[in-house]
Chains A and B, each alone.
Chain A
């Protein structure tokens, strides 16, 4: 069955550094992959989508890469700020067209 893994449950970094979150998947070749942000007590919010024919996507301080050979996506936040502290979820398109979510990585940015 399709499996999506976010390697770290939690990541702690210092303000100003680049945060890098990893998402790996197995048993599938998704047409696209998405990243969401979730704050405590709230629903996930869409951040970025990257398609299988795209290597990299950027949005302000965010950058996502998609390596279909490694079956991996990396999510980078440059010049991180305490306000970036949240849980970040990756999601891929499953065989039924639904989204399958990873368990998330909780990012804490210390001032």
Chain B
């Protein structure tokens, strides 16, 4: 299994440009999510999906769109890039485990995309 893959690894955009960060997983996980990681801020959830056709907003969704047409793919679209979106973006997938009546998720992260918006 390749696990969670992300492309591109690096990207430089100009303010106002749009682009799509790609994310794919081959583990048949129902749950996928996008995070951004900034110095001193930790990982913040942008959008997530609990299955194909279902998406929802996380903590910092403004300026980003997602869709989930298949179980495997979960692209993140930047509609009009801004310098505040300069960050490292991580995609993650997870599956649910039920033990002792508690449902938990173990996350598998991709290698990240480092985005700079000038």
Contact = CB atoms under 8 A, between A and B. Distances in A.
Interface in B37-78: 40-45, 48, 56, 58
Interface stretch (A13-21, A45-53, A70-78): A45-53
Interface residues of A, number: 26
Contact of B107 (A46, A51, A103): A46
Interface string B71-107: 0000000000000000000101000000110111111
Interface residues of B, number: 27
A36 B35 CA distance: 15
Contacts, number: 61
A43 B99 contact: no
Nearest to A31: B102
A51 to B, nearest CB: 5
Contacts of A96: 56
Contacts of B42: 89, 101-104
Contact of B104 (A31, A98, A100): A31
Contacts of B99: 51
A83 to B, nearest CB: 20
Contacts of A100: 45
A103 B42 CA distance: 4
A43 B109 contact: yes
A34 B94 CA distance: 13
B25 interface: no
A82 interface: no
Nearest to A50: B104
Contacts of B109: 43-45
Contact of B100 (A53, A93, A98, A99): A53
Closest 4 CB pairs of A and B: A43-B109, A103-B42, A101-B43, A32-B104
Given A31-B103, A44-B107, 13 more contacts: A34-B104, A43-B90, A43-B110, A44-B109, A49-B104, A52-B102, A53-B100, A53-B102, A89-B42, A89-B43, A101-B35, A103-B41, A103-B42
